[in-house]
Every structure is written in structure tokens, then in C-alpha cells.
Amino acid sequence: LNQEVLIIKSPSDIKEQKKFLGYEWSNRKGDEGLKELHEPYLSPLFERGNPQNETKLNTLIYKSFLNTLDVIPQELQTYA
């Protein structure tokens, strides 16, 4: 099996983690749970309306499984 490994790295800084995930956790009474940071949802992980977006990490992961990943876009090189 000749498969290259793609490693996704999340940031260690809390503020950067929130940006990476696109949400934060709220402990405010009556409003607990996950809260999206932006509307529409923004994250380098994926785009809801466009699952094949070449500038999102989910597409890199998909291409890695298919063994068709050639280039990691500049804006994602921090994470992959």
C-alpha cells in the first residue's frame, strides 16, 4: 500500500482554536453549548454549502483518501 499520510494540526492557542473550529463553548446560564462564531459558518475545516471547496481541509482529507492530493493550498499549510 503506497499511501501518503496527511496530518491535520489544530492550533494550541485558544483564540486560534476557536477560529479553526468555527465555534466556541458557552457556559452562560440558559445559553449553554456550542455557539458558531460567524453567520454563515466560517472555518478552514469545511463549507456547508460547498463540500468540495478546494480551500477547505475536508477536501484535502477526501483527496488524501483517494490518493489524489497534489498540492496543499497556501492558506491551509498552517494546518496540514
> Per-residue pLDDT tens for 9-30?
999 999 999 999 988 888 888 8
Cis before 73 (ω within 30): no
Residue 69 lies in domain:
14-76
Cell of 73: 493550498
Say how many domains are in the chain: 1
Residue 61 lies in a domain: yes
Query: CA distances (Å), 27 to each of 17, 24, 71, in order?
Result: 17, 10, 40
Q: What is the pLDDT of residues 25-67, one digit of tens each?
A: 888 888 888 888 887 778 999 998 899 999 999 999 999 999 9
Residue 23 lies in a domain: yes
Question: Can you give the pTM of this predicted structure?
Answer: 0.80
What confidence score (pLDDT) does residue 9 get?
96
| CA–CA dist 38, 16 (Å, integer) | 14
Residue 75 CA, distance from chain mean position:
12
Residue 56 lies in a domain: yes
